[in-house]
Structure 1
Amino acid sequence: MAKARLVRFWLALGSVFMILLIIVYWDNVGTAHFYLHTALSRPRGPKPLPTGGPERAQGLQADNADAFLDVLLGSGQTQSNPMTGKKSQPPPPPASHGPPLSNMEEKVRGYDWTSHAAATEQSQAQATRQAQRQRLLRDLCANSSFVFPTKERAFDDIPNYELNHLIVDDRHGVIYCYVPKVACTNWKRVMIVLSESLLDGGQPYREPLAIPREHVHNSSTHLTFNKFWRRYGRFSRHLMKVKLKKYTKFLFVRDPFVRLISAFRSKFELQNEEFYRRFAAPMLRMYSNLTSLPTSASAAFRAGLKVSFAHFIQYLLDPHTERLAPFNEHWRQVYRLCHPCQIDYDFVGKLETLDADAAQLLRLLQVDQRLHFPPSYRNRTARSWEQGWFAGIPLAWRQQLYKLYEADFVLFGYPKPESLLQD
């Protein structure tokens, strides 16, 4: 009878042993493989060393049966071995012969493994950079020795038509001043999603990239400051000031000369019928002495009649250009589009740091969980190209061009392109 009980005891103990062995295997091997193949799962930290009871047994390796049974049957840190009478210590964790689990997990795509400390440091660096940009703007606007056109005028003196680049989102309290050739298409898309100003099948757009480009640049899509007069009459300026005081205001800028190159490439190197009729044809007549020109861009391109970059610079420097009409928005100075000395911007982003600035701004607006800024292709018009583009431009023209855009260089912290302005 006693022998039968002893057999049942050992059978039960063996069953417990096998169950715990399976648990140990799953904890130490199975979950490791599971986490490696699950991109959205949080990595597990190392298990604490066992302290007692069955929980302690799970942390031990199954190939050390004596220690395993000691822990299972006993309760202390060290137990007497019933066979030898010696005390045995729990075995140390085995040395790993493969790469650390954390290193393997870093190879999982689609997961941000940035440490909290690194993320905090990065966030602090971005906040510091943003504060420097805003401080530079405010200091220069307050500096009486730094002068440029329209700097001293009051907000009330800005003509209504010059406020057409300030897009308002009343749902989130945001004002965006868009600057063409500075990722404005995608920022306009973001503003459409936030303000829910455009519907698709009766529902507001949720994904910025789903919004067709032709709708993005349709002026009727956006609520801009220049439309306030029609809505609110004589109260419009007061309402603008209230919103400017309470809303978060932002803009994105770019190296002024690189922006000019980008504008030239997109509007004159490609067949653009509107820009051919309005700008290219008059430039060719005035600066190439051509009297008989094709009526369409496609015909002009087939005939090899294209505006050169030198023609474009000559056009910008020509005093007649501004007398006929203000600069087109694609090459108008940022200070004339966004009025940085009359509007105290809360965020100044740059195309050169677009990804980081966009993420920081969406966090600031508390909409980063709702949408992401559309991924941008690598900018094909790089600052390193300036030397090549301006190589054929006379030095005197380069110096005059810098004077024309100097306020944008200085206000937004872009270095003076000395190599282009000296012999």
Structure 2
Amino acid sequence: MLHSFPANAGTEKYLPEKSIITLETEQTQRKKLAKEVCTLSQKNPNLDSVIKDRTLLDHIIVDEEHRLLYCYVPKVACTNWKRLLMVLMGKANTTNPLAIVADDSHRLNVFRRLDNYTGEEIRYRLDHFMKFMFIRHPFERLVSAFRNKFGQNSSSSDYFRSRYGRQIIKQYRANASEESLLRGHDVTFREFVQYIIDPRTVARANFNEHWRPMVDLCLPCTIQYNVIGKYESLMDDAWLVLEKANLNQKVSFPRSDRPSSTNSLVEEYTKHLTREELLHLYHIYEMDFRLFDYHSPGFD
């Protein structure tokens, strides 16, 4: 079904700061590096094995009409991408992405995902649809997730404090108060990191999507993405996605999700970690650092 939109629905037209030639050159460099790192790491699960375990594809949203595959990474502007896709796919009663309640964009039944297709259908879409994902400095993403899920007062924070906070405090805090054990409301970043780097957590692959490595969410060593966008150049890279999909005359990416000041907070949060803890944390996200060309001083 075709939908009609006012030009650049919901947002003013955005013009990229860089030329399209520069943006395309950056994409070529990013994809080249990703391929090199994947080859050297020998972590290239073939598509056959991925299709056999289709749950690995559960973060890839399918837009049939516009022939798009979007792998969403929590804490990397995924709310606004989902809002925009809802507008494009006619799943909202508005043409303004920012008018869509954030929680509505995360409901499980809103989008069809690639893991819901047959093996043959998956292959066809991977071959013929435009594939894109967005990435962010791994430690920035982790701090953002911690602040959002453990530091705010919301129903989502209540869930994370109950589901993870109480367990983390019980395992990693000596002489925890009864209130902390009951509510899980005052987890520190260091305790959160101790939970993530704990061999028991790693062995169970017990990572919530908000802190699961980006390479595990989107499988860039198996799936050849047409655009690998960066949070640091969000607006330009989002423009490029829409330009490649011939959608820039229909919609613009919402400007509200500009890169935040999380970068300046990373040092503030990580300064309480020991060097050993920081090194273990780096190793958890090492493929994200290497494959997407991010740097952590002293560890790469």
Structure 1 length as normaliser, TM-score? 0.63
User: Do residues 129 (structure 1) and 32 (structure 2) align?
Assistant: no
Correspondence for 1:261: 143
One of 265, 273, 276 as aligned partner of 2:158: 273
* Map 1:130-149 → 2, pairs under 5 A: 130-141=27-38, 143=39, 145-147=40-42
User: Do residues 155 (structure 1) and 35 (structure 2) align?
Assistant: no
* Map 1:337-356 → 2, pairs under 5 A: 337-356=217-236
User: Do residues 418 (structure 1) and 297 (structure 2) align?
Assistant: yes
Task: Tell me, in whole angstroms, the C-alpha distance in 2 between the residues paired with 1:259 and 1:121.
Answer: 25
For this pair of structures, how many residues does the alignment match? Answer: 283
* Map 1:104-119 → 2, pairs under 5 A: none
One of 177, 193, 210 as aligned partner of 2:87: 193
**One-letter amino acid of the structure 2 residue matched with residue 160 of structure 1:** R
**One-letter amino acid of the structure 2 residue matched with residue 226 of structure 1:** D
User: Do residues 222 (structure 1) and 111 (structure 2) align?
Assistant: yes
Q: Is the 8 A contact 2:169 2:181 kept in 1?
A: no
Distance change in 2, residues 1:409/1:121 (3 Å): closer
Note the C-alpha offset of 1:357: 0.9
Q: Is the 8 A contact 1:258 1:381 kept in 2?
A: no
Q: Is the 8 A contact 2:80 2:257 kept in 1?
A: no
Correspondence for 2:4: none
Correspondence for 1:6: none
SS in 2 for 1:219: coil
Residues 178-203 of structure 1: CA deviation (Å, up to 9, x unaligned): 0000000000111112222x243xxx
**One-letter amino acid of the structure 2 residue matched with residue 274 of structure 1:** Y
**One-letter amino acid of the structure 1 residue matched with residue 73 of structure 2:** V
**One-letter amino acid of the structure 1 residue matched with residue 166 of structure 2:** A
Identity %: 34
One of 105, 108, 125 as aligned partner of 1:243: 125
Note the C-alpha offset of 1:413: 1.3
Q: Is the 8 A contact 2:33 2:292 kept in 1?
A: yes
Note the C-alpha offset of 1:221: 0.1
Q: Which of structure 1's runs of 4+ aligned residues deviate more than 6 A?
A: none
* Map 1:275-294 → 2, pairs under 5 A: 275-289=160-174, 290=176, 292-293=178-179
Task: Tell me, in whole angstroms, the C-alpha distance in 1 between the residues paired with 2:25 and 2:59.
Answer: 27
Structure 2 length as normaliser, TM-score? 0.87
Q: Which has the larger radius of gyration?
A: 1
CA RMSD of aligned residues (A): 2.4
Higher RCO (C-alpha 8 Å, min separation 6): 2
| Structure 2: runs of 5+ lacking an equivalent | 1-11
User: Do residues 315 (structure 1) and 199 (structure 2) align?
Assistant: no
Residues 376-414 of structure 1: CA deviation (Å, up to 9, x unaligned): 254334323322221110001111111111100111111
Correspondence for 2:264: 384
